[in-house]
């Protein structure tokens, strides 16, 4: 409320990235989120001596019994092709005239090496 009365804003506690995201959201209704960082992976498996290393287990033997498949008479199916309704016809015409615009958003694939805390914090800071 003080900012509205003074008509000035002090952004001391807001970092530059959050300010940019807020401005993007104010003008476009969307904003770019933070990027995940790669966390350093450490080798959690200690080297075991040869005597303690796991040995591969043999695969189970394949079964020699075969089951005979009983033959059945062929089944006749009749396909009822319904006529297209007016609604479906109009929708089809609309989608051919106005195809959907492709989205150009990146798809994020979560990886075990990614630290996504910056992604979540960037959303929290804006809101």
pTM: 0.39
pLDDT at 48: 61
* pLDDT tens for the chain, residues 1 to 127: 787 888 888 878 888 888 888 888 888 888 888 887 887 767 666 666 666 667 777 776 666 666 766 667 666 666 666 677 888 999 888 888 888 777 666 666 777 778 888 888 888 888 7
Q: Which pLDDT belongs to residue 110?
A: 72
User: Is 48 strand, coil or helix?
Assistant: coil
> Rounded distance, CA 127 to CA 65, Å?
65
Q: What helix, strand, coil percent values describe the chain, rounded to 5?
A: 35, 5, 65
For 60, 70, 116, the CA distances from 64, given in Å and listed in that order, are 12, 19, 52
pLDDT at position 101? 72
pLDDT of residue 21: 87
Q: Rounded distance, CA 11 to CA 22, Å? A: 12
The pLDDT value given to residue 53: 67
Q: What is the CA radius of gyration of the chain?
A: 31
Question: H helices of the chain, where?
Answer: 2-6, 16-28, 86-97, 117-126
């Amino acid at each position: 409320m003080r900012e509205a009365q003074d008509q000035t804003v002090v952004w001391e506690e807001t970092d530059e990235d959050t300010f940019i995201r807020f401005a993007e959201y104010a003008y476009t209704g969307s904003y770019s989120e933070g990027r995940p960082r790669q966390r350093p992976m450490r080798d959690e498996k200690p080297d075991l001596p040869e005597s303690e290393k796991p040995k591969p287990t043999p695969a189970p033997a394949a079964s020699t019994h075969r089951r005979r498949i009983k033959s059945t008479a062929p089944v006749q199916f009749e396909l009822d092709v319904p006529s297209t309704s007016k609604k479906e016809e109009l929708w089809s015409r609309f989608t051919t005239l106005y195809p959907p615009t492709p989205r150009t958003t990146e798809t994020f694939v979560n990886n075990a090496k990614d630290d996504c805390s910056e992604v979540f914090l960037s959303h929290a800071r804006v809101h």
